[in-house]
Structure 1
Amino acid sequence: MSDAIADAKRAMRAELRERRQVMSQTARDAAADGVRNQLDALVERLRARSISCFLSTNTEPGTREFVAAAVDRGIRVLLPITRADGLLDWSVATPDGDIAEGLFGLPEPVGDVLGPIAVNDVDLLIIPAAAIDRRGMRLGWGRGYFDKTIGSMERCPPVYGVVFDSEVVDEVPSDIHDQPVTGVVTPTQTVILAPVRR
């Protein structure tokens, strides 16, 4: 990655992080409700029976209510667990599953751990993002876990990034290792941006 791209990514992440931190709790709660409705509709439209989804932090668009409701409806939900080698392990979400602080201080499940290839069986990947552009390029938070996961899948299902409405932008800085997403979910809309990879 060139220094210019790396610098542009750092600057954009810093701005987005700051914007998220000053958001009111009322706005966060409304966003979580909207995201849940959008994700519920997406899962239904795709007839997904097995999905992966991240557990949101306090500053991300809320996904936890969606995950709990999906589990209650009998959908198999894999939750990511970060590893020191840059790969993701997975754990199946349960109604009473415990959450602990993971490798980078992120919320992660406590329970039986499945290896990285467990995600190959899902019908839909729901992943975090800092921003997503109209070409389907995603700006993550800089650790590369989801780019590695998406890039290593033999048959990648639809991949949707979750962001706030203002984080769907004209362009994000990207390089050859960055993986596009199929679409974006915000509190008010779900948009298909790029073709599904096979």
Structure 2
Amino acid sequence: MATDRSTDKRALRAELRERRRTRPAHVVDAAELGFTENLVKIATETDARVISAYLSTSFEPNTRPFINWALADGRRVLLPIARQDGLLDWAEADGETETEGLYGLPEPAGGILGPIAINDADLIVIPASAVDGRGTRMGWGRGYFDRTLGSMENCPPVFAVVFDDEILDEVPREVHDAPVDGAVTPTRIIRFAR
């Protein structure tokens, strides 16, 4: 039943949010290098010239070192801007300019490219609260990335970024949940069969 899954997801998200909130700073700091190395490896392996990424919040794995690497390596990086209507606009990263967007989330301050800019991406890196072994990703409950991925005809590889203990045996799945091709943790890259 969808409402049961929805309730299960809310409870699991609350647990994961608390786990992230109480994760010791030295553990988060130590994980940053592993996240960056693994994201660089994926971008290099896929030869992604245009990368869709996101600006992490204070409780998410830090994506800024990866974004800065991509820009320094001459790659184009698209960052999401949340809209009231549930869609995502995109802007090019410059590695410096950020503003506070909808829901207090960090966003790029550059010119808006519109929702279809994501179609230029060769690789999509998205946030997640958890991922399971089937590639089911659970976000934070607003559905922005599920809508975006679900609307793409030719979706490039999609990787969710999570801590090692957020790879779960099972994540409650609803019809609208878009699966991911893989997950990046500080210690490994996991690819899912699709």
In the superposition, the TM-score normalised over structure 2's length comes to: 0.98
Alpha-carbon displacement from aligned partner over 1:158-180 (angstroms, at most 9, x marks no partner): 00000000000110001110010
Q: Which residue of 2 aligns with 1:50?
A: 50
**SS of residue matched to 2:103:** coil
Equivalent-residue separation in structure 2 for 1:194 and 1:74 (angstroms): 31
* Pairwise CA distance, 1:54: 0.8
- Unaligned 5+ runs, structure 1: none
Contact 1:81 1:90 in 2 (8 A): yes
TM-score by length of 1: 0.96
Q: Distance in 1 between matches of 2:152 and 2:43?
A: 20
Distance in structure 2 (CA, Å) of the matches to 1:69 and 1:77: 10
The letter of the residue matching 1:25 is A
Kindly report the root-mean-square deviation, in angstroms, between the aligned alpha carbons of the 2 structures. Answer: 0.9
Percent of counterpart pairs with the same letter?
Answer: 55
User: How does 1:57-96 map onto structure 2 within 5 Å?
Assistant: 57-95=57-95
What are the equivalent positions in structure 2 for 1:12-31 lying under 5 Å apart? 12-31=12-31
Q: Could you say what secondary structure the match of 2:9 adopts?
A: helix
In 1, the alpha carbon distance for the partners of 2:30 and 2:55 equals 17
* Structure 1 residue matching 2:81: 3-state secondary structure: strand
Q: CA deviation at 1:194?
A: 3.3
| Structure 1 residues 1-198: aligned runs within 5 Å | 2-95=2-95, 97-195=96-194
Q: Counterparts of 2:23 and 2:190 in 1: how far apart (Å)? A: 23
Find the residue that maps to 2:15 and give its secondary structure: helix
The 2-side partners of 1:23 and 1:101 are apart by 24
- Give aligned pairs, total: 194
Please identify runs of 4+ aligned residues in structure 1 that moved more than 3 A: none
8 Å contact from structure 1 (residues 180, 194) kept in 2: no
